[in-house]
């Protein structure tokens, strides 16, 4: 990697403000080439316990700082991340595979949460409530929950940590981050810059490791951990909830999705195609808010199919470091297998390939458009997490709402329509935490990101994002004469 600042490529753990190796290391490979790009300290449970102890020791002093003092450090961290955007993007592209431009975009997206919550840190307002008796005065305080344990996924190795650590630190919490084994380098680079920003020792800790389950067990069981924040599959979210039950751990969970993307007869088809391309193929289809199934109303089905097919043919899979590349590799063999499973299942149930459908070298896969997909196909019921766009034809609004909601997931949904009454009817009827209306890109730091049903608990980003890291304390003051 041709970095301007080579010190950003860190392979040690960051615990209590110090960099440390471990007894063993694990390899981090570039998914586009298979080359080993780093050998990273493989933290043991004992290391994680020490990180939790450090976070616990540091938290009270961190919370005792004023919101403005915490904000100043977070703001410096933001400034340093933006100044290092090119290097951080290159590290992210190398370990995760997304195209360099998209990786740099993720750095800006992740940094935007740090900027946003640096501002929110000064505005943790409580309440006063009129007393229920003449001598009573009531005040409601908001206080930080304490030590936060975080487990994050490989698909957004910078932004998924930033979206959690920023509100946590702004609220006065301390933080132990365990990044995905596949992509720890972005988290470690964030720690390099946190140290430079003047983050006190123990406030932010990063413990890379190759055995996620044991770290999750420790974080869930350790009484010094007040809260778990997790982004990943619903399966793992369920494991963490079970494990956290014994200590009533607070949980913020951003889990799996199965986003419907609906094109009505009155849609602007060119806008709908543009939105479908973003919602389906951003990060090569490896996002929890990707359009997983595309419903197209009868009257525009053929025209939309032709337009979308033409747009998909313009995508260029390849090494994310190369100019012009629009889609990187899938993250690993398991991801390729899931895509192939969904493809063959759909074809066996009558779907047709309009474009794509082939595995390429390594873990690259052609961006694929399927037509005439039945609602019973796996690709419309399970999260594909890859570059397959399945088209499902529908006739009526009621029919497509029922289809869209027929899933245990409820993270994001999208639809294109211009009739105002229809927009309100569908927006209110769709069972998701977030709805894109005439847009395929909804992720921003200013709005509450999160799902309903089995897509998670809590919200990240926006003014609501602080709530997950704060506790209400009710003061009842009596004897006032
Ligand atoms: N909602 C979202 O934003 C995301 C959803 N997903 C969904 O999850 C599916 C699988 O993706 P994947 O990355 O494998 O997601 P996982 O849920 O398996 O992994 C997410 C994180 O959890 C860790 N983890 C895995 N098992 C455990 C465990 N028992 N206890 C504690 N932590 C654990 C992983 O570690 P490690 O990777 O090191 O094993 C990783 O850091 C995707 O197909 C997609 O459906 C995935 C990513 C993001
Ligand atoms: O985990 C994810 O897929 C992200 O939450 C998607 S987004 O925030 O970049 O939309």
Q: Mean pLDDT, consecutive 10-residue segments, the chain of 481 residues?
A: 97 98 98 98 98 98 98 99 98 98 98 98 98 98 98 98 98 98 98 98 98 98 98 98 97 98 98 98 98 98 98 98 97 98 98 98 98 95 97 98 98 98 98 98 98 98 97 98 94
Does residue 406 share a domain with residue 394? yes
Please, what sign has the CA dihedral across residues 436, 441, 444, 450?
Answer: positive
Classify residue 450: in a domain, yes or no. Answer: no
Distance from C-alpha of 255 to C-alpha of 453, rounded to nearest angstrom: 10
Phi/psi for 441 (5° steps) reads: -130, 110
Classify residue 442: in a domain, yes or no. Answer: no
Ligand 1 contact via 262 beta carbon (within 6 Å): no
Does residue 414 share a domain with residue 290? yes
Predicted confidence at residue 42, as pLDDT, reads 98
Q: How far is the CA of 237 from the centre of ligand 1 (A)?
A: 9
Does residue 426 share a domain with residue 462? no
Q: What are the counts of helices (DSSP H) followed by strands (DSSP E) for the chain?
A: 13, 20
Report the run of H or E that residue 405 belongs to, with start and end. Answer: helix 397-405
CB atoms within 10 A of CB 299: 13
ipTM of the modeled complex? 0.95
Nearest CA to ligand 2 atom 10: 443
Domain of 173, CATH number, reads 3.40.605.10
Ligand nearest, relative to CA of residue 382: 1
Classify residue 444: in a domain, yes or no. Answer: no
Classify residue 446: in a domain, yes or no. Answer: no
Residues 6+ apart with CB under 8 A from 334: none
Does residue 388 share a domain with residue 282? yes
Q: How far is the CA of 127 from the centre of ligand 2 (A)?
A: 33
Predicted confidence at residue 417, as pLDDT, reads 98
**87: three-class secondary structure by DSSP:** helix
Ligand 2 contact via 443 beta carbon (within 6 Å): yes
Does residue 242 share a domain with residue 390? no
Does residue 188 share a domain with residue 284? no
Count the domains in the chain.
Answer: 2
Does residue 286 share a domain with residue 251? no
Ligand 1 contact via 450 beta carbon (within 6 Å): no
Using left for φ > 0, alpha for ψ between -120 and 50, and beta otherwise, residue 409 falls in: beta
In the β-sheet with 470-477, what is the strand arrangement from edge to edge?
A: 127-129, 137-144, 470-477
Classify residue 88: in a domain, yes or no. Answer: yes
**112: three-class secondary structure by DSSP:** helix
Distance from C-alpha of 353 to C-alpha of 331, rounded to nearest angstrom: 23
Picking from 44, 382, 62, the residue whose alpha carbon sits closest to that of residue 203 is: 62
How far separated are the first and last CA of the chain, in Å rounded?
71
Read off the tokens for 127. Answer: 């309440």
Does residue 270 share a domain with residue 361? yes
Classify residue 443: in a domain, yes or no. Answer: no
Picking from 207, 257, 243, 212, the residue whose alpha carbon sits closest to that of residue 54 is: 207
Ligand 2 contact via 231 beta carbon (within 6 Å): yes
Ligand 1 contact via 155 beta carbon (within 6 Å): yes
Ligand 1 contact via 26 beta carbon (within 6 Å): no
Q: How far is CA 228 from the centre of its chain?
A: 15
Q: How far is the CA of 252 from the centre of ligand 1 (A)?
A: 14
Phi/psi for 186 (5° steps) reads: -65, -40
**DSSP per-residue string spanning 154-190:** SSSTTHHHHHHHHHHHHHT-EEEEE--TT--HHHHHH
Check: pTM over 0.90? Answer yes or no. Answer: yes
Picking from 148, 285, 282, the residue whose alpha carbon sits closest to that of residue 222 is: 148
Nearest CA to ligand 1 atom 3: 288
The partner residues of 355 in beta bridges, in order of sequence, read: 369
Task: Kindly name the residue from 195, 254, 366, 383 that is annotated as catalytic.
Answer: 254
Does residue 184 share a domain with residue 275? no
Ligand 2 contact via 287 beta carbon (within 6 Å): yes
Known catalytic membership, residue 254: yes
Classify residue 136: in a domain, yes or no. Answer: yes
Q: How far is the CA of 95 from the centre of ligand 1 (A)?
A: 16
Among 96, 287, 460, name the best residue to mutate to test ligand 2's pocket (greatest count of ligand atoms within 8 A of Cβ).
Answer: 287
Classify residue 445: in a domain, yes or no. Answer: no
Nearest CA to ligand 1 atom 5: 232
Does residue 185 share a domain with residue 130? yes
Structural domain range at position 191 = 6-255+455-475
| H-type alpha helices, 155-283 | 159-171, 185-196, 212-221, 234-245, 269-281
Ligand 2 contact via 442 beta carbon (within 6 Å): no
Among 153, 339, 340, 450, name the best residue to mutate to test ligand 1's pocket (greatest count of ligand atoms within 8 A of Cβ).
Answer: 153
Nearest CA to ligand 1 atom 32: 212
Distance from C-alpha of 318 to C-alpha of 140, rounded to nearest angstrom: 55
Q: How far is the CA of 232 from the centre of ligand 2 (A)?
A: 10
Distance from C-alpha of 154 to C-alpha of 444, rounded to nearest angstrom: 19
Does residue 213 share a domain with residue 338? no
Does residue 286 share a domain with residue 245? no
Predicted confidence at residue 3, as pLDDT, reads 98
Read off the tokens for 49. Answer: 């316990």
Ligand 2 contact via 284 beta carbon (within 6 Å): no
CB atoms within 10 A of CB 246: 10
CB atoms within 10 A of CB 354: 19
Domain of 285, CATH number, reads 3.40.309.10
């Amino acid at each position: 990697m041709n970095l301007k600042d080579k010190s950003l490529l860190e392979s040690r753990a960051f615990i209590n403000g110090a960099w440390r190796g471990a007894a063993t290391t694990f390899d981090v490979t570039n998914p586009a080439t298979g080359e080993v790009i780093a050998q990273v300290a493989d933290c043991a449970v004992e290391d994680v316990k020490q990180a939790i102890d450090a976070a616990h020791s540091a938290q009270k002093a961190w919370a005792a700082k004023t919101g403005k003092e915490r904000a100043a450090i977070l703001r410096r961290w933001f400034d340093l991340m933006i100044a290092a955007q090119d290097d951080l993007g290159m590290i992210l592209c190398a370990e995760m595979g997304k195209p360099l431009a998209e990786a740099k975009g993720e750095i800006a997206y992740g940094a935007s949460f740090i900027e946003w919550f640096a501002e929110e840190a000064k505005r943790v307002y409580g309440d006063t409530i009129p007393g229920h008796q003449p001598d009573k005065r009531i005040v409601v305080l908001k206080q930080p929950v304490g030590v936060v344990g975080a487990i994050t996924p490989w698909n957004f190795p910078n932004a998924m940590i930033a979206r959690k650590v920023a509100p946590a630190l702004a609220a006065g919490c301390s933080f132990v981050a365990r990044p995905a084994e596949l992509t720890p380098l972005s988290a470690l680079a964030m720690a390099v810059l946190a140290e430079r920003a003047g983050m006190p020792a123990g406030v932010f800790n990063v413990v890379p490791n190759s055995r996620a389950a044991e770290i999750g067990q420790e974080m869930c069981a350790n009484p010094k951990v007040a809260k778990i924040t997790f982004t990943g599959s619903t399966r793992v979210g369920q494991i963490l909830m079970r494990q956290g039950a014994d200590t009533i751990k607070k949980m913020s969970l951003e889990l799996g999705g199965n986003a419907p993307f609906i094109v009505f007869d009155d849609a602007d088809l060119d806008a709908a195609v543009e939105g479908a391309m973003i919602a389906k193929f951003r990060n090569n289809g490896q996002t929890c808010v990707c359009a997983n199934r595309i419903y197209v109303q009868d009257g525009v089905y053929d025209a939309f199919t032709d337009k979308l097919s033409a747009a998909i043919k313009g995508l260029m899979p390849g090494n994310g470091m190369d100019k012009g590349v629009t889609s990187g590799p899938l993250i690993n063999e398991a991801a390729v297998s899931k895509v192939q499973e969904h493809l063959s299942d759909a074809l066996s149930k009558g779907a047709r390939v309009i474009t794509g459908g082939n595995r390429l070298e390594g873990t690259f896969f052609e961006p694929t458009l399927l037509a005439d997909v039945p609602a019973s196909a796996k690709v419309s019921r399970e999260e594909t997490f890859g570059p397959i766009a399945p088209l499902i034809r529908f006739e009526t609004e009621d029919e497509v709402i029922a289809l869209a909601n027929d899933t245990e997931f409820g993270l994001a949904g999208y639809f294109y329509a211009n009739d105002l009454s229809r927009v309100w009817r569908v927006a209110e009827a769709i069972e998701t935490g977030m709805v894109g209306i005439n847009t395929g890109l909804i992720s921003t730091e200013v709005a509450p990101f999160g799902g309903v049903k089995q897509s998670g608990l809590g919200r990240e980003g926006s003014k609501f994002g602080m709530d997950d890291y704060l506790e209400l304390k009710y003061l009842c003051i009596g004897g006032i004469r």
